[in-house]
Amino acid sequence: MGAVLLCDGTAGEPEPVPWCDTCSRFYNPNSVAPDGTCVKCGNLIAEPPSDDDERPQRVPWHFWLMLVALVVYLGWRLVQGIQWLLH
């Protein structure tokens, strides 16, 4: 795969810039053929569009476990604090 990550200095995620080894040049992602090949030599230089990017990012289960543990812990500390204030 000939994609290279370049940061263009603007805010946000760096976009992969297609690089063709055969032609030794970078391509604007918009000037690459729709199937991700070089328009000059037909080399595959970019990721062909796929449906994977459309899928929402799945949150790992241990994230929710951590979140529940944090809420329980903070709630317990809150109860302890209230009890301390009442005594």
* Binding of Zn ion by 22 (CB under 5 A): yes
CB of 18 to Zn ion, least distance (A): 9
Question: What are the respective helix, strand and coil percentages of the chain, to the nearest 5?
Answer: 40, 15, 50
* Binding of Zn ion by 33 (CB under 5 A): no
At residue 25, what are phi and psi to the nearest 5 degrees? -155, 155
The residues pairing with 76 across neighbouring beta strands, listed in sequence order, are: none
Assigned token pair, 20: 């063709």
Contact characters 43-62, Zn ion, x per CB under 5 A = x-------------------
Residues that bind Zn ion (CB under 5 A): 20, 22-23, 38, 40-41, 43
